[in-house]
Structure 1
Amino acid sequence: MALAAPRAIAQIDRPTPDELAAFDAFADSFLTERTIPGALVALASGGEVVLTRTYGLADVELAVPVSDSTVFEIGSISKQFVAVAVMRLVEEGALGLDDPIQQHLPEIPSEWYGATVRQLLTHTSGIPDYEEIRSYDVYRFRLTPEEIIQIAHSRPMDFPPGTGWYYSNTGYVLLSRIVERVEGQPLGRVLATRIFGPLGMTQTRLADPEAIIPHRASGYWVDRTGALINRPPTETSSTLGAGGLLSSARDLARWDAALDGAALLSEASKAEMWAPVAAPGLEAPEYGFGWELAPYRGLRTHRHSGQVAGFTAYFARFPDQDAAVIVFLNRYQAQSWPLIERALDTLVPGLDPPE
């Protein structure tokens, strides 16, 4: 299916010079106080980045500043790409949302039988989260799918499939494997040929410590004394589509635009993807297929945060305003919400006052 070109840039309100100066001062102070090496904040509309603010260093040891071309690991924002890949296969009749997952992955533990593709997408499968069991350090190691399954299976099911909601990265590793099985090729190649290539997302790909990736930011953390330390890049095999992608502000702007119209999915498929999940006896957590859906201060949003062992990221679409906000930080556990909220206050018109 041919993908449509990005739509025209909308006329959106932009911050005044004084508002930007105040935000820059806040951001500089925020990074210094929290020992965050670098950050990028961007506003996108119409498939283009219309405003970018960059701060600090993409690589501390080489003193490379963050630029508008810097590529960051995006953590769980990756899940929405897997969700779209799944929905395209559903539209083509190659996969069913209510297929039991053992139909595509017969090697899974029998305890997981009966969980469906839909339940993996919505975190209602009850399959335990292997990251929670092994912590973010799990992303530093090369793991086989069998090893990830073994880690997750070391804990009993959180609940019977479809009877609860609990965030599980294991579900998106399994979805990645299902996509690979149906397509007959690795996930990175599927995403490149199905999504990234047609959209011109030339800076988005699965992470790989050994690959030469132009403009890649280094990831950091702090030790127990508060000193900045290096964190190794994420291993592709340890996370796949659960949290293994790198991207740039420009590429996420193109992704945002492609999600409007029928470039990637039909309106019916998108409505299903962006419908809050429901399960018996469960108050809807306002989560769809790889997207958080709760309104933000009066505005409709599709959004997700991301975190891996060297990076924190945030991507929020405001479809009624034709705007998207992107925040990248190259530090793990950065307590980033104050910066994200200040960015949203500065860049998105129409927000209700904070409570």
Structure 2
Amino acid sequence: MRPAVLLAAGILLAACAARPSPDTSVDALMARYDGHGPGASLLVVRDGVPLVRRGYGFADLEKRVPASPQTDYRLASVSKQFTAAAILLLVQDGKVSLDDRARRWLPGLPPAADAITVGQLLSHQGGLVDYEDVMPADTTVPLRDKDVLALMAKTDHLYFAPGTSYRYSNGGYAMLALIVEKASGTSFQDFLRDRIFVPLGMTHTLAYVKGGPPVPNRAYGYSEEGGHWVRTDQSMTSSVLGDGGIYSSIDDMARWDAALYGDRLLSESSRAAAFTPHTRTDDPTVEYGYGWRITGDSVWHSGETIGFRNVIVRYPDRRLTVVLLTNRNDPEPYKTALAIAHLYL
């Protein structure tokens, strides 16, 4: 081989050797979650093959239980994609229409809500008042979805005429969970189990209700206060299911991600409806589908609640997905997930 060729080959090999491997770079990006504090579970999957599948830190500080791929985290608003899927399954069944007025199913909603449709609830275009702002300050019993409806019934005004604007609405998704119950004749948690989780083999995923099945491999939420981690696992809104009450693991989220590439659960038209931008949001870079945010070539959703910060980011055309679930109040994981995704794009 000529000297010039040998030199070029040597330079290329040296550059490759100097470049950090994706695994090394991932661990560097995840360093904040590692160690002796509350942690995270991370999944990177391409074409159904896990490229990264590991836990960092601890799921339970008091019992010193490490986080793992099987650890179940409260998904918070990542739950909304499952609520949307439940509605779309009922549309496939012919039991619900996206054009149905929400008051057809929930006559307890105030007259001001008369024009709101199911589709507008899914895309946050209903204009419902935020239930978190009208719940009594002295609330001591955690709210359920039906309690959110009771609060809505006393609030006979909207932020805007339905379909004319966008405002992210946890209450809207609580109403969707109640519509699932009315249309299916079963509880929301049972519908999710029977129609989504069991068929997909998501055996460690559930909508958690007190007195129901326990959360397997449960992570507990923590917040940093005065330099110490304090368990902050539940709030007065943590028992509302439709907007954020599902627990899951990265292993089960891999099964969910795989199902979104075919007709195994949702039909092609249902998947198109979920991933079609139905409205602009308050962020000019983000549009909203049904339970999914849409940015360029990615569909994603974050979830934040007391003691938990989560995100799923999918690049369907690249068949690449990153799921980052954490049981701590900080940092917000979306930018970390994007940085990890870019290592593999």
TM-score (norm 1): 0.82
Whichever residue aligns with residue 200 of structure 2, its letter is L
Equivalent residues in 2 for 1:314-325, closer than 5 Å:
314-325=311-322
In the alignment, what sits opposite 1:9?
A: none
What is the CA–CA distance in structure 1 between the aligned matches of 2:114 and 2:284, rounded to whole Å?
25
Whichever residue aligns with residue 172 of structure 1, its letter is Y
In the alignment, what sits opposite 2:216?
A: 214
Once the two structures are TM-superposed, the CA of residue 334 in structure 1 deviates from its matched residue by 2.9
Return the match for 1:18 from 17, 21, 26.
21
What is the CA–CA distance in structure 1 between the aligned matches of 2:285 and 2:121, rounded to whole Å?
16
In the alignment, what sits opposite 2:310?
A: 313
In the alignment, what sits opposite 1:118?
A: 119
**Stretch deviating more after TM superposition (61-70 or 264-273):** 264-273
In the alignment, what sits opposite 2:149?
A: 149
Task: Return closer, same or farther for 1:32/1:273 CA change in 2, 3 Å cut-off.
Answer: closer
Mark the structure with the bigger radius of gyration. Answer: 2
Are residues 1:330 and 2:327 paired? yes
In the alignment, what sits opposite 1:170?
A: 171
Return the match for 2:30 from 23, 27, 40.
27
Equivalent residues in 2 for 1:272-283, closer than 5 Å:
272-278=273-279
Task: Return closer, same or farther for 1:205/1:22 CA change in 2, 3 Å cut-off.
Answer: same
Task: Return closer, same or farther for 1:317/1:59 CA change in 2, 3 Å cut-off.
Answer: same
What is the CA–CA distance in structure 2 between the aligned matches of 1:341 and 1:142, rounded to whole Å?
34
What is the CA–CA distance in structure 2 between the aligned matches of 1:78 and 1:107, rounded to whole Å?
24
SS in 2 for 1:44: strand
In the alignment, what sits opposite 2:58?
A: 57
Task: Return closer, same or farther for 1:331/1:120 CA change in 2, 3 Å cut-off.
Answer: same
Once the two structures are TM-superposed, the CA of residue 294 in structure 1 deviates from its matched residue by 1.3
SS in 1 for 2:313: strand
SS in 2 for 1:312: strand
Task: Return closer, same or farther for 1:63/1:130 CA change in 2, 3 Å cut-off.
Answer: same
**Stretch deviating more after TM superposition (50-59 or 181-190):** 50-59
Once the two structures are TM-superposed, the CA of residue 169 in structure 1 deviates from its matched residue by 0.4
What is the CA–CA distance in structure 2 between the aligned matches of 1:92 and 1:193, rounded to whole Å?
14
Task: Return closer, same or farther for 1:26/1:48 CA change in 2, 3 Å cut-off.
Answer: closer
In the alignment, what sits opposite 2:74?
A: 73
In the alignment, what sits opposite 2:100?
A: 99
Task: Return closer, same or farther for 1:262/1:87 CA change in 2, 3 Å cut-off.
Answer: same
The answer to which structure, 1 or 2, has the higher relative contact order (CA under 8 A, 6+ apart) is 1
What is the CA–CA distance in structure 2 between the aligned matches of 1:131 and 1:107, rounded to whole Å?
18
Once the two structures are TM-superposed, the CA of residue 42 in structure 1 deviates from its matched residue by 1.0
Once the two structures are TM-superposed, the CA of residue 134 in structure 1 deviates from its matched residue by 5.4
In the alignment, what sits opposite 1:242?
A: 243
SS in 1 for 2:55: strand
Q: Is the 8 A contact 2:298 2:314 kept in 1?
A: yes
Q: Is the 8 A contact 2:70 2:249 kept in 1?
A: yes
Q: Is the 8 A contact 2:113 2:128 kept in 1?
A: yes
SS in 2 for 1:229: strand
Taking only the aligned residue pairs, the percentage that are identical comes to 36
Once the two structures are TM-superposed, the CA of residue 179 in structure 1 deviates from its matched residue by 0.4
RMSD value over aligned CA atoms?
A: 2.8
In the alignment, what sits opposite 1:262?
A: 263
In the alignment, what sits opposite 2:341?
A: 344
Task: Return closer, same or farther for 1:112/1:283 CA change in 2, 3 Å cut-off.
Answer: farther
Task: Return closer, same or farther for 1:171/1:290 CA change in 2, 3 Å cut-off.
Answer: same
SS in 2 for 1:23: helix
What is the CA–CA distance in structure 2 between the aligned matches of 1:243 and 1:270, rounded to whole Å?
21
SS in 2 for 1:251: helix
Once the two structures are TM-superposed, the CA of residue 149 in structure 1 deviates from its matched residue by 2.8
Q: Is the 8 A contact 1:41 1:343 kept in 2?
A: no
Q: Is the 8 A contact 1:306 1:313 kept in 2?
A: yes
In the alignment, what sits opposite 2:180?
A: 179
Once the two structures are TM-superposed, the CA of residue 17 in structure 1 deviates from its matched residue by 6.8
Once the two structures are TM-superposed, the CA of residue 262 in structure 1 deviates from its matched residue by 1.2
Once the two structures are TM-superposed, the CA of residue 339 in structure 1 deviates from its matched residue by 2.5
Task: Return closer, same or farther for 1:333/1:108 CA change in 2, 3 Å cut-off.
Answer: farther
What is the CA–CA distance in structure 2 between the aligned matches of 1:19 and 1:86, rounded to whole Å?
38
Q: Is the 8 A contact 1:37 1:60 kept in 2?
A: yes
Task: Return closer, same or farther for 1:283/1:116 CA change in 2, 3 Å cut-off.
Answer: farther
Task: Return closer, same or farther for 1:285/1:340 CA change in 2, 3 Å cut-off.
Answer: closer
Once the two structures are TM-superposed, the CA of residue 268 in structure 1 deviates from its matched residue by 1.9
What is the CA–CA distance in structure 1 between the aligned matches of 2:69 and 2:204, rounded to whole Å?
12
